Amino acid sequence: MSSHSESRRTFLKSAALASVGAAIVPLPAFPSWGSLRADDRIRIGLVGCGGRGTGAALQALNADTGVVLVAMGDAFRDRLESSLANLLKEPIKDRVDVPSERQFVGIDSIDQVLPLVDVVLLCSTPGFRPEQLAKAVAAGKHIFCEKPVCVDAPGYRSVLASAREAKAKGLSLASGFCWRSASPERAIYGEILGGTLGEVVSVHATYLTGPLGTKTRQPGWSDLDFQMRNWQHFNWLSGDHLVEQAVHSVDKINWAMGGRHPTRCTAIGSRYCREDMPERGDIYDNFTCTWEYEHGPRCVLMTRQQANCFNLNDDWVNGTKGYAWVNGWGPTHWIKDYAGKTIWSYPKDGAVPDMYQVEHNTLFKAIRDGRPINEGEFMADSCMMAIMGRMAAYSGQRLTWEDAINSNEVLRPTSMDGSIPILKAPKPGQTGVKA
């Protein structure tokens, strides 16, 4: 089957092309970190040219007029080409300089992108992220790293190690946890951490949405191609929807808790409404998780991807003196005391700059100024909390943080060539989930 894998096959072709291309287009030596002169170009590369990656490239180009997109890599040529075509329609098109010899196709295309750039945008599917991050740090590149950053505990440990190495090397590492860059969220979590509602005693969060789309298997697709085209539905690629999507809410819990680690997690979940079809992979469609903290607080998240149901995305943060409401769908956040009096609210006319743009403005300013930022710890911890929730739900067991982070369960198939079976969604209490 491996010879039928587009992602494998095209990688081999692109590797050959890359060695020719690299010889044809030598790029001048460029400092990978430290202060840059204002007229210096910052060469960026995009790995994972889907919807988010295209957006991230655009934001990076808009963040600094010296940024030039010089290389792109994707598992699939059609994804790379449509991303490039979209970028070439934008006002920044003059700084999109990606000729065919700097377009790389295949699951290891990052290897061709890294030598050509100063900054890499890691926007592929999450299952590959820890390895890609490790490669980027080893190559001495500044990094924008989309969430989630890992799908299992070995990935978490790898990301933490990469984040430490990035810090030691003076590299910037920015995360795609975009709410951390949103003005209304920064304002209200600033109030929460500053004690406006007293000590946080609990958080109740919701991420209730509909199912995501699927792609029908096409003739010639290998198992790998098929699963990667439907990556959100496969645990080894996405980490399940709790880790892939609702991790934004988990991150806000982590934020409200000041980055403390939970000590235990109990969770329930199931695959109740998802159709039993290959495109729908092996993931659940609902989870409810409770993370317990040593000093008392309990934080609960309900999440589902089910059609025709009530949708909601908000966070209630309860404190000893008051409680906060964070509206995931609009900047109408407030904090009240227990008499019902509003003691803080986000100004109705408050500016709300695009959080995705702010992420990149912050990263590229840090690079320009030679003052590296490093968001590695919280981005890894938030993902690990979500992984812990998934492990607790799948197994039906109450897990400690230590159980979860020391797990040696690796989700990626041992071989990505040939047949990659579609696993059955685990049954709590029946399917062993290795801790």
Ligand X SMILES: NC(=O)c1ccc[n+]([C@@H]2O[C@H](COP(=O)([O-])OP(=O)(O)OC[C@H]3O[C@@H](n4cnc5c(N)ncnc54)[C@H](O)[C@@H]3O)[C@@H](O)[C@H]2O)c1
User: Which chain residues interact with ligand X by CB under 6 A?
Assistant: 47-53, 73-76, 79, 107, 109, 123-126, 128, 146-147, 176, 178, 228, 244
Q: Are 129 and 162 in contact (CB under 8 A)?
A: no
Which residue sits closest to ligand X, CB atoms considered?
A: 50
Helix (H, G, I), strand (E, B) or coil at 182: coil
Closer residue to ligand X (CB): 248 or 304:
248
Query: Minimal distance in Å, beta carbon 188 to ligand X?
Result: 18
Name the minimum Å distance from CB 47 to ligand X: 5
Record the tokens describing residue 320, joined without a space: 């000893």
- What is the nearest approach in angstroms of ligand X to the Cβ of residue 179? 8
d(CA 142, CA 247) in angstroms, rounded, equals 24
- Nearest of 269, 267, 284 to residue 392 by alpha carbon: 267
- Minimum CB separation of residue 107 from ligand X in Å reads 4
Q: Are 50 and 126 in contact (CB under 8 A)?
A: no
- Nearest CB to ligand X, comparing residues 128 and 401: 128
- Within 13 Å, how many C-alpha atoms sit on residue 60's CB side? 33
Q: How far is the CB of 323 from ligand X (least distance, A)?
A: 26
Q: What type of residue is 254?
A: N
* CB nearer ligand X, residue 36 or residue 114: 114
Identity of the residue, 48 or 155, whose beta carbon is nearer to ligand X in the bound complex: 48
CB-based burial, 335-365: b 16+ in 10 Å, e otherwise:
bbbeeeeeebbbeeeeeeeebbbbbbbbbbe
Provide the minimum distance between the beta carbon of 53 and ligand X in the complex, in angstroms, as a whole number: 5
Minimal distance, residue 153 CB to ligand X, in Å: 18
Q: What is the DSSP string of 327-389?
A: ETTSS--EEEETTS-EEEE--TT-----HHHHHHHHHHHHHHHT---B-HHHHHHHHHHHHHH
Q: How far is the CB of 339 from ligand X (least distance, A)?
A: 36
Least distance in angstroms from the C-beta of 370 to ligand X: 27
CA angle 311, 312, 313 (to 5 degrees): 140
Query: Cβ of residue 234: shortest distance to ligand X, in angstroms?
Result: 12
Tell me whether residue 171 or residue 178 sits nearer to ligand X (CB atom): 178
C-alpha to C-alpha distances, 89 to 56, 85, 222, 337, nearest whole angstrom: 15, 7, 33, 50
Residue 76 or 291 with smaller CB distance to ligand X: 76
Least Cβ distance, residue 176 to ligand X (angstroms):
4
Q: How far is CA 56 from the centre of its chain?
A: 12
Residue 36 or 47 with smaller CB distance to ligand X: 47
Coil vs helix vs strand at 181: helix
Q: Which of 218, 216, 209, 214 shows the shortest CA–CA distance to 231? A: 214
Q: Residue 333: beta bridge partners?
A: none
Of 237 and 289, nearer to ligand X (C-beta) is: 237
Q: 198 in helix, strand or coil?
A: coil
User: Which lies closer to ligand X via its Cβ, residue 356 or residue 394?
Assistant: 356
Six-digit token string for 163? 């984040």
Tokens 């290959």, residue located = 278
Nearer to ligand X, 74 or 152 (CB): 74
Nearest residue to 192 (alpha-carbon basis) of 324, 316, 339: 324
Nearer to ligand X, 224 or 317 (CB): 224
Cis previous bond, 154, omega within 30: no
